[in-house]
Amino acid sequence: MGQTLTGLLTSVRAIAGRPGTPPRARPGGGPDPELLAALRHCGDHLAALAASGPLTDARRTRLIASIGALTTACSTPGADAFDALLRTGQQALDSGGDAGARLALALADEATTLRARSKGAWRLRGSALDALGRSEEAITAYERHLALQQNTAASHDVERRIATLRAAGDRIDEALALDGDGVGDGAGGTDGAGAVRLSRRLPAAEARVAFTELVRLRTAERGAADPAVRRLAALYAEHRRLSDRDLMADPLLGGAEPIGVPGLRRFLAGRTVCLVADTPHTAEQEQRPGSSLAALIEGYDLVVRCDAVRHAAPTARTDLHAVTLRGDSPWKGPRWDRRATARLVFGDPLPHWRLALRSRLVPGAQDRIGDATLRRPLHDPALLAEAADADGPASTAYTVLRLLDFLGTPARVDLIGFEGPAALPPREREWIGARTGTTDDTAVRITLG
How confident is the model over 392-431, as pLDDT tens digits? 678 999 999 999 999 888 988 999 988 766 678 888 888 8
| DSSP codes, 78-89 | T---HHHHHHHH
Which string of DSSP letters, residue by residue, matches 180-205? Answer: IIIISSSTT-TTTTSGGG--TTS-HH
For the chain, how many residues are written? 449
Tell me which of 332 and 253 has the higher pLDDT.
332
Mean pLDDT of the 141-147 span:
93
Identify the DSSP state of 437.
Answer: E
Q: Calculate mean pLDDT across residues 179-186.
A: 55
The average confidence (pLDDT) of the chain is 83
Preceding amide of 377 cis, omega within 30: no
pLDDT of residue 244: 66
Could you tell me if 429 and 435 are in contact, meaning their C-beta atoms sit under 8 angstroms apart? Answer: no
Helices (H), 17-155: 33-51, 58-75, 82-94, 97-114, 119-131, 135-148
Check residue 322 and give its pLDDT: 97
User: Model confidence at 208, in pLDDT bands (50, 70, 90)?
Assistant: confident
Q: What mean pLDDT do residues 182-198 have?
A: 48
Q: How far apart are CA 359 and CA 256, in angstroms?
A: 14
Long-range contacts of 323-328 (CB under 8 A, 24+ apart): 323/396, 324/393, 324/394, 324/395, 324/396, 324/399, 325/352, 325/353, 325/356, 326/392, 326/393
Q: Are 341 and 304 in contact (CB under 8 A)?
A: no
The string of pLDDT tens digits covering residues 354-393 is 888 888 988 888 989 998 889 999 988 878 888 877 666 7
Structure confidence at residue 186 (pLDDT): 38
Confidence (pLDDT) at 128: 94
pLDDT at 183 over 60: no
What pLDDT, on the 0 to 100 scale, is given for residue 77? 81
Any long-range contacts for 133-136 (C-beta under 8 Å, 24+ apart)?
133/203, 133/204, 133/205, 133/206, 133/207, 134/203, 134/204, 135/165, 135/168, 135/169, 135/200, 135/204, 136/165, 136/169, 136/200, 136/201
pLDDT at 342: 95
Which band of pLDDT confidence, cut at 50, 70 and 90, is reported for residue 22? Answer: low
Mean pLDDT of 7-15: 82
Q: Which residue, 389, 424, 371, is CA-closest to 171?
A: 371
Measured distance between the N- and C-terminal CA atoms of the chain, rounded to whole angstroms: 69
- Please give the average per-residue pLDDT across 218-226, as a whole number: 88
> Which SS3 state, helix, strand or coil, does residue 226 take?
coil
Taking residue 446's Cβ as centre, other Cβ atoms within 10 Å add up to 24
- Residue 263, pLDDT score: 87
Which residue type occupies 211? F
pLDDT at position 191: 44
Which run of H or of E encompasses 399? helix 396-407
pLDDT at 190 exceeding the cut of 50: no
Which residues face 306 on adjacent strands? 322
| pLDDT tops 70 at residue 291 | yes
Over the stretch 69-79, which tens digit does the pLDDT of each residue have? Answer: 999 888 888 77
In this prediction, residue 445 carries a pLDDT of 56
CB < 8 Å & 24+ apart, contacts of 382-391: 382/174, 382/178, 382/227, 382/228, 382/231, 382/261, 383/261, 385/227, 391/425
Averaging pLDDT over each range in 55-59, 287-291, 298-302, which range is the top one? 298-302
Residue 3 confidence (pLDDT): 44
Q: Is the pLDDT of residue 27 over 60?
A: no
At residue 114, the pLDDT reads: 93
- Model confidence at 195, in pLDDT bands (50, 70, 90)? very low
pLDDT digit string (tens) for 268-290?
999 999 999 998 888 898 888 88
pLDDT at 201 over 50: yes
pLDDT at 300: 93
Per-residue confidence band for 115, with pLDDT thresholds at 50, 70 and 90: very high
Mean pLDDT for the stretch of residues 21-47: 75
Q: pTM of the predicted model, to two decimals? A: 0.57
